[in-house]
Amino acid sequence: MELTGKEFALAVVLAFMGFAFSTRQWLLFLNQRTPVEGLTIYYIILYGSLLVLSRMGLVVFGLKIDDPIKTFGLLLITFAFFTTVNFENPYVQLVTMGNTQGASPVFYGSEDGAVWFLVSQFVSDIWLCRMLTFVVTPFLLTILGCLLVSGKIKID
């Protein structure tokens, strides 16, 4: 079981994105946008990320996913990506409003919301929850996903 430099780089990039997009400054900036502006920013990030990652060879659009295990690996990478760029979690409510009281359960129904919810059941420190949710989880899921997609891990 061996990762290529590109596969490791993808995991690092997603972990960095999770760190950057979960900063207080970024969330407060988004909190001042209208829903349409927020969605536009989200899709600019999504498009730009896919474009840059594909140009770096970290995302291969022509990759043929020909079995369920590779499909699952791609799903893990996708889950990791959306954990880093979604802003639908109680942490956003905590940063922008100072508490999670009144936070809609809808915040928990996304990749980042579900991971935050699970982590926060076991960890009470907000900084550690942030790191585990937005940095560590995407990093590990991307590594596992890349190994599955590339066939370096086989599940019989």
Output the pLDDT for position 132: 97
Output the pLDDT for position 75: 86
Query: d(Cα 72, Cα 68) in Å, to the nearest integer?
Result: 6
Buried b (16+ CB within 10 A) or exposed e, 17-42: bbeebbeeeebeebeeeeeeeeeeee
pLDDT at 150 over 70: yes
Output the pLDDT for position 59: 54
Which tokens belong to 50?
Answer: 């896919």
pLDDT per residue over 28-85, tens digit each?
Answer: 888 888 767 887 888 888 878 877 776 766 655 456 666 778 878 888 998 999 999 8
pLDDT at 20 over 90: yes
Quote the longest CA-to-CA distance of the chain.
Answer: 50
pLDDT per residue over 112-149, tens digit each?
Answer: 988 998 999 999 999 999 999 999 999 999 999 989 88
Output the pLDDT for position 34: 78
Output the pLDDT for position 123: 97
Output the pLDDT for position 12: 92
Query: d(Cα 28, Cα 48) in Å, to the nearest integer?
Result: 21
Output the pLDDT for position 67: 73
pLDDT at 10 over 70: yes
User: What mean pLDDT is predicted for residues 73-100?
Assistant: 88
Element (H, E) at 148: helix 137-149
